[in-house]
Amino acid sequence: MHIILYVLDALRADHLGCYGYGRNITPHLDQLAAAGVVFENCFTSTTWTRPVAASILTGAYPTVHQATTRDNMFSVALKRLPEMLKAGGFETAAFNTMGNIAGEVGFSRGFDRYYDLFREPGLVAKRHRLNAAREGLLHTAETEIALPLAEDINDYLLPWLAERKAQNTFSFVWSIETHEPYGAPEPFRRYAGPVRQPGEGESDDIRSAGKADRNRLMNLYDDGILYNDHCLGQLVTELKQLGIYDETLFIVVGDHGEAFYEHGFYTHGHPPYEELIHVPLIMKFPGGAYAGQREAALVELIDVAPTVTAVAHLPQSADTRRFIQGKNLLPLLNNEAEQVRTYTFSDTQSLAIHNRYLSVRSREWKYMQIRKPQRNRQTLRKTVQHVLARGLLWDIVRRPRHFWRSYFRSSNEFLFNLPADPAEQHNALVEHPEIAQQLRQVLEQWLAQNEHLAQQLGDEPLTYHESEALQKHLEKLGYL
């Protein structure tokens, strides 16, 4: 059996044809969806990459796995999906294009091979920098950094699979075409047209963009989806030629969505509005099982790991099960359950000095809470140190509104009636205080449960200090 877990970074659900998008930019993903199951209401546990990736691999929420901020490594002693599969006789490999989940951040544990493709010398020499004006930042004494393409993933993944056709394998794939800076190759620039100048779509431009830039940025984004879909189609074709497609569990997800000024933001890492937490989840099962099904029940990305272990018939110890908060989704598909959860949750805080964004969502209602960090002399000092260490002073001067929202926005509560207000434009907190109180209590109970599990784990993440080279890579992706 072969298992491929393919993550498209920042892919929102409503930009896929199988989720109702009007543009025909995902024909191959739509074909994969028709051969498998579309989970219509899947939600992520946070709105930026590192904690989402850790949640996918552990089936646990961020507070439990504790890789919550950019200062945290993914290092606590939770059993991970690749470790479980490896113990069950699977060979494991990861093909990663994203510095936030680099091996050095702690994500390589459990994998026989962990390819940080952005560090591969052949790709560094091969790939053209998207922003020529700042290319010098990528050349450090330690290493050079590339932005790999989806076709580069195929070039590493397919030979690895071809050598192991007769074995059980797990491939963890993370592509970056749908993450800023958006830069699809020229043949796939169907909507945005030719590149007009070096650095188009660069993070600084996006984060200082206004409402008038929305269509242009969305066109760039859709071109990236179109290109990544093309490469996924090539991957499926090669799997069929290798004779292993039918026996493959092929899972495609987005780790979080992407905002296009629906609520005054671009990109992600912001409050958990639908454009950021509603993500695609497509599962193509071995032997064509469940083909053509569409599942409307609420599910989460933390449900992927327990579902994979169930399909692979892997036993789990009681100690391992204790920390897995995800649900096995097979009962939904076998008509043994109408739902596996009543609520979905999210928790986002990229730095301790940033706001914390929390949400609980039912089928009809979403309660959202924005908690600002405690402001005292110590946190002020950390904020100043962060600004100086990252060289952010000039960025703050250029785009003060973005940084004001990130650092100093007041605490807020929001309640949205999703069937009546799917765009989340009206805060119904005053009209429905009883519903807000109910969901507030559900959220507090969830937070307490997570804290209890974290205490039971009795482990703390290692503190992570990024190398200069990795800092420059993350800067290119808009994180610093």
DSSP code string of 373-411: PP-SHHHHHHHHHHHHHHT-HHHHHH-HHHHHHHHHPPP
Residue 317 identity:
S
Which of 28-32, 139-143, 154-158, 165-169 comes out lowest in average pLDDT?
139-143
114-118, 121-125, 285-289, 341-345, range with the lowest pLDDT:
121-125
Q: What is the pLDDT of residue 473?
A: 57
pLDDT of residue 131: 37
CA dist 89 → 224, 304, 347 (Å): 36, 19, 34
Structural domains of the chain ordered from first start: 2-338 (3.40.720.10), 347-457 (no CATH)
Q: Can you give the pLDDT at residue 134?
A: 37
**Cα(367)–Cα(272) distance, rounded to whole angstroms?**
10
Residue-wise pLDDT tens digits, 53-68: 999 999 999 999 999 9
User: Which tokens hold the place of 294?
Assistant: 């569409």
In this prediction, residues 221-238 reach a mean pLDDT of 98
Mean pLDDT value across residues 222-246: 98
For the cut 80, the answer to whether the pLDDT of residue 421 exceeds it is yes
Contacts of 196 (CB under 8 A, 6+ apart): none
* Segment among 158-172, 208-222, 289-303, 377-391 with least mean pLDDT: 377-391
CA nearest neighbour of 413 among 431, 396, 391, 436? 436
Q: What is the pLDDT of residues 427-470, one digit of tens each?
A: 999 999 999 999 999 999 999 999 999 999 988 877 766 665 66
Q: How many helices (H) does the chain have, and how many strands (E)?
A: 17, 14
Q: Is the pLDDT of residue 310 over 80?
A: yes
> Quick one: which of 131, 100, 135 has its CA closest to 118?
100
Contact between 426 and 368 (Cβ < 8 Å): no
The overall average pLDDT reported for the chain is 87
Whole-number pLDDT of residue 140: 29
Q: Is the pTM of this model over 0.85?
A: yes
List pLDDT tens digits, range 243-287: 999 999 999 999 999 999 999 999 999 999 999 999 999 999 999
Q: Which two tokens stand for residue 143?
A: 């290493």
Which helix (H) or strand (E) segment is 248 a member of? strand 248-254
In angstroms, the CA 295 to CA 338 distance is 10
Q: Is 473 helix (H, G, I), strand (E, B) or coil?
A: helix
Residue that has been written with the tokens 């294009």 in this structure: 97
pLDDT in tens, 368-416: 999 988 765 555 555 555 455 445 555 555 556 555 555 555 559 999 9
For residue range 340-361, list pLDDT tens digits in order: 999 999 999 988 888 999 999 9
Q: What is the DSSP string of 140-171?
A: -SS-B-----HHHHHHHHHHHHHTTTTS-EEE
pLDDT attached to residue 203: 41
288 CB neighbour count, 10 Å cutoff: 11
Buried b vs exposed e over 71-96: b needs ≥16 C-beta within 10 Å? bbbbbbebbbbbbbbbeeebbbbbbb
Give 95-104 pLDDT, tens digit per residue.
Answer: 999 888 999 8
Q: Who wins on pLDDT, 206 or 255?
A: 255
| 49-55 own/partner pairs: CB under 8 Å, 24+ apart | 49/9, 49/98, 49/100, 49/101, 49/255, 49/256, 50/74, 50/100, 50/101, 50/105, 51/347, 51/348, 52/255, 52/256, 52/301, 53/7, 53/100, 53/101, 53/107, 53/174, 53/255, 54/107, 55/301, 55/302
Percent of the chain with pLDDT over 70: 82
Residue carrying structure tokens 């929001």: 414
Q: Give the mean model confidence (pLDDT) for residues 127-147.
A: 43
Residues 223, 184: Cα–Cα separation, whole Å: 6
**Residue 181: predicted pLDDT:** 83
Q: Where is pLDDT greater, at 383 or 169?
A: 169
> Can you give the pLDDT at residue 472?
60
